[in-house]
């Protein structure tokens, strides 16, 4: 996934599709010497034109990838989809109610605007990921396009047998993979006609220039060990085999080698989730690790918490990490109480580390801890945090530390953290609300160092780094 292969030139788009081979990757075995260098900016709620206008700044901020909201046709009430959260003028979750697998919607823009944005990304050598959600349709199934129904063989072929029922027990894998998440109608993703229609959409995005995907509600699409929807005529849970290019469906297959794409699934961790099987297809979200980080930020201490473990069975080089996601910010406002400074300190922690691919969620412009929606507009860019000097410094540090393994250290009271990268660099993080005189174990050689952001001086003597750290502030040191 992170170990990207060079694309082989094809004479034609269709010809290339017919030759696609998928190399099986072991995402459960950790390579202790492997270092991740990528970072993702989630340009949530930004439209295509806004993303294109800010491409240079995204590049200068040190990000290597950006992730858009869903680009497919979606629930679009007349006059709505202008606001992030408003009863009359639309809501952010309309993105997540597909009505057809075609490119463009009134929240992000047209196919032509998307192509212009992708061309801009290519100019700045930025990889664009698209959030895709094949698991369900819009709540109102009468609003799903007739062309979509026809393509999958009719309404009775669109949904699982119990697809219009909501999940009651998320640890029951039959319910989890055959019934509606949050009441959203659950698509029969094992229907070959649906798979073909969906893959034509994916190949269209690839043709436009998309080079990766985030699979929404991925754990709600079954793997081979999951129960079959026999009543719907399902004989094999093979959606992921098709989506990842292992097999074709009705003459259609993934257009380019799967290993040339960055793909991860939203597999929120729970006790019955078959993480090992999902790992055979794609990288996964380290949701439990995110919870632990947020707990430490709220406590302003790591004491009695394990921030070294990734809290996941898969190898960390194949995990996507975050301090917060659009879901934790928007759904129950689980992380929306954390200040921008707290989010930033968490970002420096996950980005300075050797593994994981960190995702930075762009909060709404002018959002506060009293007003989570800020300007409450769909389309404009988020706040300034994605190019804060500390964010830029650690993004560049991550790339510079390629090949350097990590060691983490914590102060006795848990208020200060150091991420050492070999003997070449270190990130110092003060999560306390007060100034902190730090003394942290390091592998840096003895000497005096100035950090990359503030010019603050730290001293290393006999393997201990000392200095003063301001409240909720981070420092980057490179030898």
Same domain, 161 and 187: yes
Note down the domain range covering 412: 404-479
pTM: 0.94
Q: For this structure, is 150 an active site residue?
A: no
| Structure confidence at residue 77 (pLDDT) | 83
Find where tokens 């929306």 sit. 336
In this structure, is residue 20 part of a structural domain? Answer: no
List C-alpha distances in Å: 248 to 16, 20, 135, 356. Answer: 13, 9, 19, 30
What residues form DSSP beta bridges with 441? 464
In this structure, is residue 6 part of a structural domain? Answer: no
Q: How many domains does the chain have?
A: 2
| Structure confidence at residue 21 (pLDDT) | 56
CATH at residue 277: 3.20.20.80
C-alpha dihedral over 288, 370, 69, 327, to 10 degrees? Answer: 30
Phi, psi of 245 (to 5 degrees): 85, 10
Q: For this structure, is 266 an active site residue?
A: yes
Give per-residue pLDDT as tens, 75-90. 988 767 899 999 888 8
C-alpha dihedral over 463, 469, 473, 477, to 10 degrees? Answer: -40
| Structure confidence at residue 96 (pLDDT) | 92
**Rounded distance between C-alpha atoms, residue 415 and residue 318, angstroms:** 29
What residues form DSSP beta bridges with 252? 249
Give per-residue pLDDT as tens, 8-44. 333 333 333 344 456 789 999 999 999 999 999 999 9
Out of 131, 190, 238, 266, the active site residue is: 266
Same domain, 439 and 377: no
Look at residues 352, 376, 403 and tell me which one is the last residue of a structural domain.
403
The two structure tokens encoding residue 168: 């009651």
Query: Shortest CA distance to 132 belongs to which of 297, 262, 298, 274?
Result: 262
**Rounded distance between C-alpha atoms, residue 300 and residue 474, angstroms:** 14
Out of 216, 238, 327, 472, the active site residue is: 216
In this structure, is residue 21 part of a structural domain? Answer: no
Look at residues 369, 386, 403 and tell me which one is the last residue of a structural domain.
403
Give per-residue pLDDT as tens, 319-340. 999 999 999 999 989 999 999 9
In this structure, is residue 12 part of a structural domain? Answer: no
Give per-residue pLDDT as tens, 409-452. 999 999 999 999 999 999 999 999 999 999 999 999 999 999 99
Q: Which whole number is the average pLDDT over 278-287? A: 97
**Rounded distance between C-alpha atoms, residue 278 and residue 287, angstroms:** 15
Same domain, 337 and 411: no
By CB atoms closer than 10 A (0-12, 13-18, 19+), residue 251 is exposed
Q: Which whole number is the average pLDDT over 251-271? A: 96
In this structure, is residue 14 part of a structural domain? Answer: no
Same domain, 435 and 414: yes
| Structure confidence at residue 22 (pLDDT) | 65
Look at residues 388, 403, 418 and tell me which one is the last residue of a structural domain.
403
In this structure, is residue 68 part of a structural domain? Answer: yes
In this structure, is residue 2 part of a structural domain? Answer: no
- What strand order describes the sheet that includes 464-469? 436-441, 464-469, 457-461, 447-450
Phi, psi of 333 (to 5 degrees): 55, 40
CATH at residue 469: 2.60.40.1180
Q: Which whole number is the average pLDDT over 376-396? A: 98
Q: Which whole number is the average pLDDT over 353-369? A: 98
Query: Shortest CA distance to 89 belongs to which of 375, 303, 362?
Result: 375
Q: Are 232 and 160 in contact (CB under 8 A)?
A: yes
Per DSSP, the chain holds a count of helices (H) and strands (E) of 14, 20
SS3 240: helix
State the chain's mean pLDDT as an integer. 94
């Amino acid at each position: 996934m992170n170990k990207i292969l060079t694309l082989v030139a094809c004479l034609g788009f269709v010809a290339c599709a017919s030759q696609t081979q998928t190399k099986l990757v072991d995402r459960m075995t950790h390579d202790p010497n492997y270092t991740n260098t990528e970072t993702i900016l989630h340009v949530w709620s930004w439209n295509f034109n806004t993303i294109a206008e800010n491409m240079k700044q995204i590049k200068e901020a040190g990000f290597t990838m950006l992730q858009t909201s869903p680009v497919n046709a979606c629930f679009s009430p007349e006059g709505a989809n202008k606001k992030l959260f408003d009863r009359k003028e639309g809501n952010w979750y309309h993105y997540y109610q597909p009505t057809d697998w075609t490119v463009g919607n009134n929240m992000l823009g047209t196919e032509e605007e998307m192509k212009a944005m992708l061309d801009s990304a290519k100019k700045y050598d930025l990889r664009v990921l698209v959030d895709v959600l094949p698991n369900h349709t819009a709540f109102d199934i009468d609003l799903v396009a007739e062309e979509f129904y026809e393509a999958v063989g009719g309404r009775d072929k669109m949904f699982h047998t119990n697809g219009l029922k909501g999940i009651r027990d998320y640890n029951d894998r039959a319910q989890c993979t055959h019934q509606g998440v949050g009441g959203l109608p659950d698509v029969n993703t094992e229907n070959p006609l649906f798979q073909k229609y969906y893959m034509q959409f994916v190949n269209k995005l690839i043709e436009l220039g998309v080079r990766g995907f985030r699979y929404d509600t991925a754990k709600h699409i079954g793997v081979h060990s999951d129960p079959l929807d026999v009543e719907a005529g399902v004989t094999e849970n093979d959606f992921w085999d098709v989506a990842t290019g292992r097999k074709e469906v009705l003459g259609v297959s993934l257009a380019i080698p799967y290993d040339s794409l960055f793909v991860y699934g939203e597999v929120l961790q729970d006790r019955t989730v078959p993480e090992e099987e999902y790992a055979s297809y794609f990288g996964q979200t380290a949701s439990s690790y995110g919870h632990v980080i947020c707990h430490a930020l709220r406590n302003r201490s790591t004491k009695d918490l394990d921030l070294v473990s990734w809290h996941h069975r898969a190898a960390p080089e194949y995990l996507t990490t975050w301090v917060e996601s659009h879901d934790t910010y928007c759904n129950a406002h689980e992380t929306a109480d954390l200040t921008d400074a707290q989010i930033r300190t968490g970002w420096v922690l996950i980005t300075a580390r050797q593994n994981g691919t960190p995702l930075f969620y762009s909060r709404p412009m002018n959002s506060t801890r009293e007003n989570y929606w800020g300007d409450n507009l769909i389309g404009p860019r988020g706040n300034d945090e994605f190019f804060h000097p500390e964010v830029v410094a650690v993004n560049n540090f991550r790339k510079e530390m390629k090949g350097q393994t990590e060691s983490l250290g914590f102060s006795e009271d848990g208020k200060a953290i150091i991420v050492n990268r070999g003997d070449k660099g270190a990130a110092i993080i003060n999560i306390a609300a007060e100034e902190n005189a730090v003394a942290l174990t390091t592998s840096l050689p003895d000497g005096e160092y100035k950090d990359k952001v503030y010019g603050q001086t730290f001293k290393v003597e006999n393997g201990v780094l000392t200095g003063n750290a301001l409240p909720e502030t981070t420092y980057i040191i490179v030898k």
